[in-house]
């Protein structure tokens, strides 16, 4: 049995979309953009270099697959990827769709405005689209 536990802050602001071989894919509950978070199911990790080589390679494959899904679903100007961990120390990677007219363009999204929870229709639409795109991963 694994001692992996999802950080409560990630759990509070997101909805589980799908589990990939290494990571849980979470849909951040924010209507402002399609924003996904990958969390490797490994306890006690904070940095990418904390992952064993094989897991690090798998995470990169999963980031690529999720990035392709986000691009296909949202048709963004740019897909941003980041792993900061300054507030939530648990290793996690953000993948988000960015548009030239979004709430933070062209700067980073962190600390800009307040999260806007999705209504049930948009939440279900985004979850279904992610699950469909990532079903074969």
- For 8-104+113-134, CATH number? 3.30.428.10
Is pLDDT above 50 for 1? no
Distance CA 88, CA 124 (A): 26
- Per-residue pLDDT of 38-94, as tens digits, reads 999 999 999 999 999 999 999 999 999 999 999 999 999 999 999 998 889 999 999
| DSSP assigned state of 88 | S
Average pLDDT of the chain, as a whole number: 95
Q: What is the pTM of this model?
A: 0.95
Kindly list the domain boundaries of the chain, sorted by start residue. 8-104+113-134
């Amino acid at each position: 049995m694994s001692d992996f536990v999802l950080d409560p802050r990630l759990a509070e602001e997101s909805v589980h979309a799908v589990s990939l071989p290494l990571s849980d894919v979470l849909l951040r509950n924010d209507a402002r953009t399609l924003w996904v978070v990958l969390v490797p199911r490994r306890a006690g990790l904070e940095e990418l270099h904390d992952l064993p080589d094989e897991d690090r390679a798998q995470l990169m494959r999963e980031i690529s697959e999720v990035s392709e899904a986000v691009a296909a679903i949202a048709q963004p100007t740019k897909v941003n990827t980041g792993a900061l961990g300054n507030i939530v120390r648990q290793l996690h990677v953000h993948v988000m769709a960015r548009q030239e007219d979004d709430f933070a363009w062209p700067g980073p999204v962190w600390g800009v405005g307040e999260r806007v929870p999705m209504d049930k229709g948009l939440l279900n639409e985004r979850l279904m689209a992610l699950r469909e795109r990532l079903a074969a991963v």
